[in-house]
Amino acid sequence: MGRRRGDDRIVVDVATGRAELVPDPDRPRSWTLLLDDAPQSHVDLADPTHLEFEYVRRLGAALDLIAAPGAPLRVLHLGGGALTLPRYVQATRPGSTQRVAEVDGALVELVRRELPWPADPRLKVRVADARATLESSRDASYDVVVADVFAGARTPAHLTSAEYAAQVARVLAPAGWYLANLADGPPLRHTRAQVATVRQVLPRAALVGDAAVLRGRRHGNLVLVAGRVEPPVPELTRRAAGDWFPGRVLAGAELDRFVAGAAVVTDADATDSLPPPPGIFSVRR
């Protein structure tokens, strides 16, 4: 069982570290999930369409734009956290079929107990490894695969390779989309390699992020949108530019230049993504 501190935060040891649920002082019934002090999720139980974190807002924008508004989708979420995006899809695309693969069973139980999601037989949360879930899924069984998997603040190596990307492409419908949260910092070697690797099998792509992160000036999160058809770049660009956290979109020739010279990652040489700089999470929101 966890322990509550004087400020009502909930602290529990889970399989992947120390989980904390911290109440948001500015939004009633809203909580931030941290794992080993790294922010993982923000959830507003009263309004699941509220997306607080910068990169989650960009993932949400992509989910809004890749299909007609309100149309249900078949979505596989690799990494669960506090289920921010599954709740968002429930609210914005009723009738969607969703599967969530989260490797940490104790974390799932914590979220289920403290931040319960609306009961929905079309939303299934399973304790499972992300890649194993992909490999056991049927061909063309999903419209969207969302990857937001971190061990601490690093993406595990087995979710960065060409073999992994091939599994993502296999389970996607022909017009399906891969959305990935990439955390990286100067000189963005991890991100360049990931874009090069994914584009081997899903060649039409866009990269969304803060301009300073894209220029390699600081550590941050970038969102990769990749598929077999052209992504909605003009709409993504407008959403990114007009967001609370203004961002840029790289696509076409700009993305080609960004990726130029990056090597494709394979299982044989894959490594975890680089850790963030010390102290980056020292100020909590």
Q: Is the pLDDT of residue 77 over 90?
A: yes
Each residue's pLDDT tens digit, 18-68? 999 999 999 999 999 999 998 999 999 999 999 999 999 999 999 999 999
State residue 274's pLDDT score: 81
How far is it, in rounded angstroms, from Cα 262 to Cα 189?
A: 8
State residue 278's pLDDT score: 73
Closest Cα partner for 270 from 166, 156, 178, 192? 156
Residue 87, token pair as written in the block: 């709740």
State residue 282's pLDDT score: 45
State residue 154's pLDDT score: 83
Residue 261, token pair as written in the block: 């010279």
Q: Is the pLDDT of residue 182 over 80?
A: yes
How far is it, in rounded angstroms, from Cα 202 to Cα 178?
A: 8
Each residue's pLDDT tens digit, 86-96? 999 999 999 99
State residue 281's pLDDT score: 54
Each residue's pLDDT tens digit, 190-224? 999 999 999 999 999 999 999 999 999 999 999 99
Task: Give the amino acid at 130.
Answer: A
Confidence of residue 184 (pLDDT cuts 50, 70, 90): very high
Q: What integer best gives the mean pLDDT of the chain?
A: 94
pTM: 0.95
Closest Cα partner for 194 from 224, 232, 227? 224
How far is it, in rounded angstroms, from Cα 258 to Cα 211?
A: 13
- C-beta of residue 213 within 8 angstroms of C-beta of residue 240: no
Three-state DSSP state, 198: helix
What CATH number is given for 53-259 in this structure? 3.40.50.150
- C-beta of residue 34 within 8 angstroms of C-beta of residue 40: yes
Confidence of residue 161 (pLDDT cuts 50, 70, 90): very high
Q: Is the pLDDT of residue 166 over 90?
A: yes
> Quick one: average pLDDT of 134-148?
98
